Structure 1
Amino acid sequence: MRGFWGLMRAYWFSNRWPEAWALTVVIALLTALSSKAGVWFAIASGELVNSIAFFHDAANVSPLTSLLSNAGWLVLLVIIKDVGITGTRTLVSATLHRKWRGWLNGRFNDALLDANHTHFHAQNGADAGGPDNIDQRVQEAIKGMTGGAIGLAMGVLGVATSLFFVGQQLLATSTEVAGLEFLGDYGSVVLVLVAVAAYVPVSTWVAMKLGGILERLSVKMQQAEGSYRGELTTLLRRSFHVAASRGEDVQKAMHGRLYQDIDTTWGRLNRINAGYSSFELVYNFIGARIVAYGPGLIPFIHNKVDLKGYITGAELVNSLISQCSWIIKEMPAIATLRANSRRVIELAEAIENVQQPADFYRQTGHSEFSYTHQNPVFGLTIQHLELMQKGADAAPFVTTERLRFRRGEWTFLKGESGSGKTSLIKAINGLWPYGRGTIVFPEGVKTFYAAQEVKLPPVSLKELVCLPDTPDDHSDTKAAAALHRAGLGEFIEYLAEGTRDNRSWDQILSGGQKQKLIVARILLQQPGLLFLDEATAALDPEGKIAFHQAIKDNCPDVIVISVMHEAIPPRSASGEEFYHSVLAIADGVATKKPLVPTLPREITTILANPPARPVAKAPMLEDGWARITRMRLRQK
């Protein structure tokens, strides 16, 4: 689907081909029937005009009956054509539009949300040629493209069937024309074809030039609308931060700049649309009143055809011009179709390009990561790792020669803000694009990444607990037990519900409760490799201890690599260390060392503020100081 015609025909050659072709054949038959009905309409119009013209003729023995019957037949034809045939075709074509769009939407969703994290790479690599406003492309562009393509196809088919049926009738009623006697009885039909051929192509060329301008403006309008909508969506996600920082004026100015782009493009688009509408009205008038009635006027003046034949022929020519002018009538829709198809094709190309992320990112920098597996006994190994920013000349901002994390080992990752802690975790998980190195995972071990910010999709609480698995993978009992151990037992009774009081769980749960929900997922998933990227930032000290203790008690062999802002990692309530080692990033180098046990905080506080002199009446305190001194000597 990386080209226009490939995109157009993909649905008809997919596993849904019976549905696609059945609807297409029905539309084709109804279009042909509509063209034939147009011929009947022209003949009936001629009969009605003739009955009016000869109403007072002495030879007309039943003028009123003739007039009413011809008028009734014409009205019946209009109802059959416009309500029965055209209405049914509209319903069938709308059904085809819905089915085709649904299939394309499913294909793009499957491609974006694959195991390759295509949606992430497509957005993360926007500077490398990735698509903007993916949401607009998947929704509006696909919808507009499929609808426009169906309308275009029906127009082409309408031209073909009209040329056949109308041409057949014109040939049957053709007569000799004065000055064109050498053409014999084909004189009038040749005159019609010359008039149509001289009028329609020139006007079509003008329409195509205007359509090209409309296409370019439509693309720009979609980009501007997408940027504005994207910023509004971002505002809704961070509205608290905007309110807390009193940043409404800055946000307002940003919205004003984005909308100004929409307004400017819209103004230009309106001017072109107005000009095109005027052009189309003039074209329709000349075609229906001059070109249609002109060719038959010469035979009528020379008594080669009567009034009924003249009116019938003019209506047939008008029908032929109308059908051959479909490109002029539909040019705005065609321009929109081309704009939408271009944006959909760009998205398809971006999806295809990022199927090999390393090759994709090499276009804008170094991307030479290698991901392999080893026996789980050896844990996680990282070799010769260098992290870089985008750019061919970018220098590494984090390096390390060799890191090894054994099964069951907990590592505390620390460093100054901006030192690259989160980037290192992302790189291990294949979510940092630029750099080089080898990451060897323990084979057959689940990996779980818990970030600081938790965004919850609008699904049931059980689905949220079971992510990334499905609710069917875990029983209600296991999900409820995981919630209870994570400290969210009060929500167990709402396990099957997606909302409470018309609010989603993302709105109901606080930041700390969302991080407890992550604990529930960890306990349910039982990962062998766990990355905590400031995953306890919203919890109080007791909550952080409970967070770690739940994992320690229920995931005994898990490898934990954790980023926290604390200078000293948390310990259990009994004073035992959760972590075994420290991975420190300093001056761009990551080094790993065993964790040096520290004294309990209470004792550290006493040591920092010792009493001025021993108190004779407090022997227990003197014994405590003696014990502290012995502990310090033992540590040294």
Structure 2
Amino acid sequence: MRSFWGLMRAYWFSDRWVEAWTLTLVIALFTALSSKAGVWFAEASGELVNSIAFYHDAANTTPLASLLTNAGVLILLVVLKDAGFTGIRTFVSATLHRKWRGWLDSRFNAALLDTNHTHFHAQHGSSGAAAPDNIDQRVQESIKDMTGGAIGLAMGVMAVATSLYFVGRKLLETSAEVKGLEFLGSYGSAVLAFLAVAIYVPLNTWIAVKLGRLLERLNIRMQQSEGSYRGELTTFLRRSFHVAASQGENVQKTMHDRLYVDIDRTWARLNIVNTSYRSFELVYNFIGARIVAYAPGLVPYIHNRFDLKGYITGSEMVNSLISQCSWFIHVMPSIAALRANSQRVTELANAIENVQHPQEFYSLTGCSDFRYDRQNPVFGLTIQKLELTHQGEDATPFLSAANLRFRRGEWTFLKGESGCGKTSLIKAINGLWPYGRGSIVFPEGVESFYAAQEVKLQQVSLKQLVCLPGSERDHTDAQVASALHKAGLGDFIEHMADESRDGMSWDQVLSGGQKQKLVVARIVLQQPGLLFLDEATGALDPEGKIAFHQAIKDNCPDVTVISIMHEAVPPRSLSGAEFYHSIVAIADGVATKKPLAPSLPVALTTILAHPRPVEETRPVEERWLRFPRRIRQK
């Protein structure tokens, strides 16, 4: 689906081909019937005009009955054609539109939301071209408008082909000799009709194409402007509290005004072109229906080769032919929109295809040579000769780690100044950092879990939120309830099946701290072997941070933890025991790992915190020597 035609035919050659072709053939059948009904309509119009013209003729013994009969037949044909054939075709085409759009939507969602994290790579890297903007707009609006426009275009082509066949054949059957063109025989009037259509329609189609290309460019620009404005509105509503707290409404308003200026300017130009095109189309329709359609048959009618009935019938058929062949002119704005939408959809398809192999994709704009492997879980997680860089072939590494090993069950604290690369290191381990090199070897058969600082919750049930990244069918209600209780969210157990509470989604209901407790519930339920905490306790108070760590310690005994926190010293349990065993310190772009500095024994810590009155003045060293030898050895 990387090209226009590939995108157009993919559905018809997919696993849904029976559905696609069945609906298409039904549309083709009713298009042909509608075109045939156009011939019947022309003949009935001729009969009606003839009954009016000869209403007072002495030979017409039943003028009123003939007039009413012909009028009734014409009305029945209109109902049959427009409410019957055309109406059914419209319903079937709308069904095809719905089915095709649904299939394309599912394909793009499956491609974006695969295990390769395509949605992430498509937005955060480029091979010389900008990442696709407004992916939500492309998947929804562009696909919807593109599929609808393509079906309309195909139906128009079918209508032109069937009209040329039915109307053209009837014109040849009713053709008459034209004075001055006797060498054409009885096909003279038909040749004149075809010649008029062949000159008039293509010339005006060329004009329409020129205007259509301008409309296409403006449509693309309008979509980009609208998408940017909508994206900023969405972002603003998500950070509404921060705008209110900082009293940043005036700044936000200025941003909105600046973005809307582009929409307004593009819209103004689009209105001018659309108005010009509409005026051109109205003039074209009048000349085609009242002059070009009636001109070819006028010469044989003047020379008595046609009677009035034949002249009107032939002229109406020429008008029908012009109307059908002019379909491209009538829908040129829609074709321009179709091309604009298809361009945006194919750009997204290309972006998705380009990042199917992330390292090859990122290698086009920088160094991307990460090697991921598996080893016996006894050896834990190993990182060797790791260097992280930014985009660019000659980018200097901003972080390097010669050799880092994390044993099974080991808790490691990442320490360093802001901006030193702590989060980048965790992202690289998880395959989410694009540029650099090195070897990352994971323990075989061990699941990993990445907990970020900011928690965004999808609009699903609370049980599903706890079961992520798995399905709610993977765990019983009792297991999920137990995880919520251990995480400190027991008050919400009775609402596990709800997708909202008091009309608000869980993302709105839960506070920042509660969302981070929800992460604990996920960890307790999922039992990962590798846990990455990227400032995952930032919204918790000191007691909450201790509870966060204690819940993991108590329920995931063999988990390997690598954690980033703002604190200079990692938290300890309420008893004073250390959660963490080692520290990875990042300084001057180098990451080094060392054991956590030993702390004073728990007993000594307690005594020093609550000293006996008689020992208040004694030095710490003297009091330390008074402890039994076994305690001092600890």
Q: TM-score, normalised by structure 2?
A: 0.97
The 3 A distance-change label for structure 1 pair 171 and 630 is farther
In structure 2, the residue matched to 1:435 is 436
The 3 A distance-change label for structure 1 pair 134 and 518 is same
How far did 1:598 drift?
3.2
State yes or no: 1:72 paired with 2:72: yes
Q: Does structure 2 conserve the Cα–Cα contact (< 8 Å) formed by 1:128 and 1:361? A: no
User: 2-side partners of 1:554 and 1:294: how far apart?
Assistant: 90
In structure 2, the residue matched to 1:455 is 456
In structure 2, the residue matched to 1:482 is 483
User: 2-side partners of 1:269 and 1:453: how far apart?
Assistant: 41
Name the aligned partner's letter for residue 464 of structure 1. Answer: L
In structure 2, the residue matched to 1:110 is 110
Q: Does structure 2 conserve the Cα–Cα contact (< 8 Å) formed by 1:584 and 1:592? A: yes
In structure 2, the residue matched to 1:122 is 122
- Residue 621 of structure 1, aligned match among 612, 616, 619: 616
Q: Percent identity?
A: 74
In structure 1, the residue matched to 2:549 is 548
Q: Does structure 2 conserve the Cα–Cα contact (< 8 Å) formed by 1:379 and 1:442? A: yes
In structure 2, the residue matched to 1:207 is 208
Q: CA RMSD in A?
A: 2.1
The 3 A distance-change label for structure 1 pair 596 and 158 is same
Note the 1:37-52 alignment, pairs <5 A: 37-52=37-52
User: 1-side partners of 2:303 and 2:276: how far apart?
Assistant: 41
How far did 1:548 drift?
0.5
User: 1-side partners of 2:313 and 2:619: how far apart?
Assistant: 116
SS of aligned partner of 2:532: strand
Note the 1:594-633 alignment, pairs <5 A: 594-599=595-600, 618-622=613-617, 625=620, 629-630=624-625
- What CA deviation, in whole Å up to 9, does each residue of 1:282-331 have, x standing for no partner? 00000000000000000111111010111000100000000000110010
Name the aligned partner's letter for residue 619 of structure 1. Answer: V
Q: Does structure 1 conserve the Cα–Cα contact (< 8 Å) formed by 2:385 and 2:439? A: yes
User: 2-side partners of 1:538 and 1:605: how far apart?
Assistant: 29
Q: Does structure 1 conserve the Cα–Cα contact (< 8 Å) formed by 2:576 and 2:602? A: no
Note the 1:299-314 alignment, pairs <5 A: 299-314=300-315
In structure 1, the residue matched to 2:407 is 406
In structure 2, the residue matched to 1:397 is 398
In structure 1, the residue matched to 2:241 is 240
User: 1-side partners of 2:424 and 2:624: how far apart?
Assistant: 41
How far did 1:356 drift?
0.6
Note the 1:556-595 alignment, pairs <5 A: 556-595=557-596
User: 2-side partners of 1:43 and 1:622: how far apart?
Assistant: 120
In structure 1, the residue matched to 2:278 is 277
In structure 2, the residue matched to 1:82 is 82
- What CA deviation, in whole Å up to 9, does each residue of 1:76-124 have, x standing for no partner? 1111111111111110000000000000000000000000000000011
Name the aligned partner's letter for residue 561 of structure 2. Answer: V
The answer for unaligned runs of 5 or more in structure 2 is none
How far did 1:620 drift?
4.9
In structure 1, the residue matched to 2:35 is 35
Q: Does structure 1 conserve the Cα–Cα contact (< 8 Å) formed by 2:126 and 2:362? A: no
SS of aligned partner of 1:411: strand
In structure 2, the residue matched to 1:324 is 325
How far did 1:49 drift?
0.5
SS of aligned partner of 2:350: helix
Structure 1 stretch displaced more, 582-591 or 592-601? 592-601
- What CA deviation, in whole Å up to 9, does each residue of 1:214-267 have, x standing for no partner? 111111111111111111111111111111122111111111111111111111
The 3 A distance-change label for structure 1 pair 139 and 525 is same
User: 2-side partners of 1:627 and 1:368: how far apart?
Assistant: 57
How far did 1:54 drift?
0.5
SS of aligned partner of 1:147: helix
Name the aligned partner's letter for residue 45 of structure 1. Answer: S
Name the aligned partner's letter for residue 616 of structure 2. Answer: L
Note the 1:489-500 alignment, pairs <5 A: 489-500=490-501
User: 2-side partners of 1:625 and 1:542: how far apart?
Assistant: 29
In structure 2, the residue matched to 1:20 is 20
User: 1-side partners of 2:64 and 2:462: how far apart?
Assistant: 76
User: 2-side partners of 1:112 and 1:347: how far apart?
Assistant: 10
In structure 2, the residue matched to 1:6 is 6
The answer for unaligned runs of 5 or more in structure 1 is none
How far did 1:393 drift?
2.3
Q: Does structure 2 conserve the Cα–Cα contact (< 8 Å) formed by 1:51 and 1:63? A: yes
Q: Does structure 1 conserve the Cα–Cα contact (< 8 Å) formed by 2:44 and 2:70? A: yes
Q: Does structure 1 conserve the Cα–Cα contact (< 8 Å) formed by 2:577 and 2:602? A: no
Q: Does structure 2 conserve the Cα–Cα contact (< 8 Å) formed by 1:375 and 1:442? A: yes
Note the 1:241-256 alignment, pairs <5 A: 241-256=242-257
The 3 A distance-change label for structure 1 pair 191 and 553 is same
Q: Does structure 2 conserve the Cα–Cα contact (< 8 Å) formed by 1:54 and 1:60? A: yes
User: 2-side partners of 1:66 and 1:627: how far apart?
Assistant: 129
Q: TM-score, normalised by structure 1?
A: 0.96
- The aligned length equals 630
SS of aligned partner of 1:295: coil
SS of aligned partner of 2:371: strand
User: 1-side partners of 2:420 and 2:341: how far apart?
Assistant: 43
Q: Does structure 2 conserve the Cα–Cα contact (< 8 Å) formed by 1:603 and 1:628? A: no
User: 2-side partners of 1:489 and 1:604: how far apart?
Assistant: 34
Structure 1 stretch displaced more, 386-395 or 346-355? 386-395
Name the aligned partner's letter for residue 387 of structure 1. Answer: L
User: 2-side partners of 1:600 and 1:418: how far apart?
Assistant: 35
The 3 A distance-change label for structure 1 pair 258 and 593 is same
- What CA deviation, in whole Å up to 9, does each residue of 1:410-431 have, x standing for no partner? 0000100111100100000000
In structure 2, the residue matched to 1:360 is 361
How far did 1:634 drift?
6.1
User: 2-side partners of 1:601 and 1:569: how far apart?
Assistant: 16
User: 2-side partners of 1:635 and 1:6: how far apart?
Assistant: 75
